[in-house]
Amino acid sequence: MLGNRMLGISIMIGGILILIGTVLHPILVAPYAGEEALHKFKHSQMWMLDHILMLIGMFLWLGGLAGSSSYFRKNGAAMFYISLGLWILILTAELTILPLIGNEIIGRHHGVLKKVWEAIFSFGLLAGYFAVACSWAGVALYGWCMKRTENSFSTWFQNSGFYSGVWGFAGIVFTCCFFKTAYIVLPLTSGPAYLWTMWWGWKLFRKKI
């Protein structure tokens, strides 16, 4: 089993890489806005780089979170593993299938290929929402396990884990019902859960557990 310090480093570096990849990625929130997505893909100079950063980041971040499950019950770790599995599929498709088809479409009229590209994009974005929901469910379960077991974690840390995870999960559900609200809802609801994971990584790194 990896030591606490290595798990903490993995979580924090992975979280930072995910944040950088998210900033570099074209802003797209609606799975069914395929034409808009294709237009932004054509004009994106960072498509490959940001998805590579995201893939590496997900391995480190989710792997570190799942690897620290010895402090909790295994339910939370299972959610992180499910999320990681989804992200591997999504990001692999966005690093291979979408660029190959997209480059074939650019400058040509390929109606069928265009629809295939849009369909794969739609699947990937919606699956991405599900993957994030699994991550925040994992955070909530970690917080819940802390609240139900004797440990040295502060009440504030335990409660913030549970409630930020629930809040983040609820934000994903709301976003999936009203995609256009994602620009505001996602930062407000996913931000606290993301920060909690970085806080947990810092605790592991400093061995303050």
Is the separation of the CB atoms in 53 and 95 below 8 Å?
no
Is the separation of the CB atoms in 105 and 113 below 8 Å?
yes
**pLDDT tens track for 111-141:** 889 999 999 999 999 999 999 999 999 999 9
State the pLDDT at residue 76: 84
Higher per-residue confidence, 158 vs 131 = 131
State the pLDDT at residue 207: 75
State the pLDDT at residue 209: 61
The share of the chain scoring above pLDDT 70, in percent, equals: 94
**pLDDT tens track for 55-89:** 999 999 999 999 987 666 667 899 999 999 999 99
Number of domains the chain is built from: 1
What does the chain look like in DSSP terms, one character per residue?
---HHHHHHHHHHHHHHHHHHHHHS-----TT-HHHHHHHHHT-SSHHHHHHHHHHHHHHHHHHHHHTGGGS-HHHHHHHHHHHHHHHHHHHHHHTHHHHHHHHHTTS--HHHHHHHHHHHHHHHHHHHHHHHHHHHHHHHHHHHHHHS--S--HHHHHHHHHHHHHHHHHHHHHHH-GGGHHHHHHHHHHHHHHHHHHHHHHHHHT--
**Cα–Cα distance, 126 to 171 (Å, whole number):** 14
Owning domain of residue 119: 4-206
